[in-house]
């Protein structure tokens, strides 16, 4: 059977990156990509020790330029500080938002003030967790992520705040009962989210990149680890569902849906990673929703 020879060049510099011989005529582009990946070797971690790598006394390493990078802490602080500030602009009804006669006025609805407290608490909590709780396994991420993330968080914050703090905003259909139920959901999920973050932090000593299977602790909020791999995402989604019920606002519901979709993708990725890395990983766990997803 006739085989093909494939030469792979850098699209910008035209430098030859790889030469593949004996490629099957029916090979797809995806298969060629896999062959190329194999020839380039695996990506190395910062903590890999040279003598433990599958090389002889002479080792060849390849450098890959990841482009402009920015620290995770900087990205998180920026994307979380924005919604906090933006929401307050609408809450205090600064000029040029709702019209001159509404400048610096206050809503007569209690739920509007409660929503501002909950929204502000959520992002202050995130900022404090970024500074004092989270331990990042990777120091940096691509610079473009800060623009993408800020567009998402800041844009939705402005959209939600505009309607919730609008002079024509109407309270939820079932009044105080609906607000109280939603507030209970929000508070429980916020406490649960913080508890999971603390439990995950305790798994990784400072300055270490050690990975362990997370298990429930004496804290009841961590018992969700019995059923899902990423209960922090479960609680996060629950918080926004509670906020959506409290405000009965469509933009909040859409933000919750988009957030749930993205967190489900992240949770599935982490779940697969756990299964691949730990042979004794608890079989009953699902990525984000117990028994379902």
Let me know if residue 24 belongs to a domain. Answer: no
pTM equals 0.80
User: Quick one: tokens of 250?
Assistant: 């469509």
Task: Say yes or no to pLDDT of 177 above 60.
Answer: yes
Q: How many domains does the chain divide into?
A: 2
Band of the pLDDT at 199, cuts 50, 70, 90?
A: very high
What is the per-residue pLDDT for 9? 67
Task: Note whether 138 and 243 are same-domain residues.
Answer: no
Task: Note whether 186 and 250 are same-domain residues.
Answer: yes
Cα angle: 85, vertex 185, 88; to 5 degrees = 15
Task: Note whether 166 and 179 are same-domain residues.
Answer: no
CB 180 within 8 A of CB 226: no
| pLDDT digit string, tens, across residues 244-283 | 999 999 999 999 999 999 999 999 999 999 999 999 999 9
The more confidently predicted of residues 36 and 275 is 275
CA-CA distance, 263 to 171, in Å (whole number)?
A: 29
Task: Note whether 98 and 183 are same-domain residues.
Answer: no
Q: What is the mean pLDDT of residues 9-37?
A: 68
User: Quick one: tokens of 183?
Assistant: 């507030």
CB 163 within 8 A of CB 169: yes
Let me know if residue 184 belongs to a domain. Answer: yes
Task: Note whether 192 and 145 are same-domain residues.
Answer: no
CB 293 within 8 A of CB 230: no
Range of the domain at 264: 175-292
Query: How far is CA 103 from each of CA 84, 90, 134, 155, 270, rounded to the nearest angstrom?
Result: 20, 10, 39, 22, 47
DSSP state string for 210-250: --------SSGGGGGGGTBS-HHHHHHHHHHHHHHHHHT-H
Task: Note whether 161 and 207 are same-domain residues.
Answer: no
Task: Note whether 97 and 155 are same-domain residues.
Answer: yes
Band of the pLDDT at 184, cuts 50, 70, 90?
A: very high
Task: Note whether 193 and 155 are same-domain residues.
Answer: no
| pLDDT digit string, tens, across residues 97-112 | 999 999 999 999 999 9
What integer best gives the mean pLDDT of the chain?
Answer: 87
Let me know if residue 185 belongs to a domain. Answer: yes
| pLDDT digit string, tens, across residues 58-103 | 555 565 666 678 888 888 999 999 999 999 999 999 999 999 999 9
Beta strand 16-23 with 69-71 is unpaired
Task: Note whether 201 and 160 are same-domain residues.
Answer: no
Task: Note whether 254 and 195 are same-domain residues.
Answer: yes
User: Quick one: tokens of 292?
Assistant: 């379902």
Question: DSSP 3-state assignment of 58?
Answer: coil
Listed in sequence order, the DSSP H helices in the chain are 29-40, 72-91, 110-132, 144-164, 175-203, 231-247, 250-277
What is the per-residue pLDDT for 65? 61
């Amino acid at each position: 059977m006739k085989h093909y020879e494939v030469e792979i060049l850098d699209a910008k510099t035209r430098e030859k990156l790889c030469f593949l011989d004996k490629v099957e005529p029916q090979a797809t582009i995806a298969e060629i990509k896999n062959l190329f990946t194999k020839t380039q070797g695996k990506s190395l971690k910062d903590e890999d020790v040279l003598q433990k790598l599958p090389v002889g006394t002479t080792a060849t390493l390849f450098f890959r330029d990841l482009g402009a990078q920015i620290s995770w802490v900087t990205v998180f602080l920026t994307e979380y500080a924005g919604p906090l500030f933006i929401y307050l602009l609408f809450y205090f009804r600064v000029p040029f938002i709702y019209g001159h006669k509404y400048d610096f006025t206050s809503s007569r609805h209690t739920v509007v003030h409660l929503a501002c407290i909950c929204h502000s608490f959520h992002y202050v909590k995130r900022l404090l967790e970024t500074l004092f709780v989270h331990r990042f396994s990777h120091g940096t991420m691509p610079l473009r992520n800060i623009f993408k993330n800020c567009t998402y968080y800041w844009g939705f914050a402005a959209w939600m705040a505009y309607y919730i703090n609008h002079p024509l905003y109407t309270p939820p259909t079932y009044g105080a009962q609906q607000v109280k139920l939603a507030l209970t959901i929000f508070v429980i999920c916020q406490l649960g989210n913080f508890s999971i973050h603390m439990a995950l932090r305790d798994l990784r000593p400072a300055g270490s990149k050690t990975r362990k299977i997370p298990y429930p602790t004496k804290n009841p909020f961590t018992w969700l680890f019995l059923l899902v791999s990423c209960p922090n995402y479960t609680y996060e989604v629950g918080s926004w569902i509670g906020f959506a019920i409290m405000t009965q606002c469509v933009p909040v519901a859409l933000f919750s849906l988009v957030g749930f979709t993205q967190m489900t993708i992240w949770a599935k990725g982490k779940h697969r990673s756990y299964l691949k890395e730990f042979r004794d990983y608890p079989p009953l766990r699902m990525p984000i929703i117990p028994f379902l997803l």
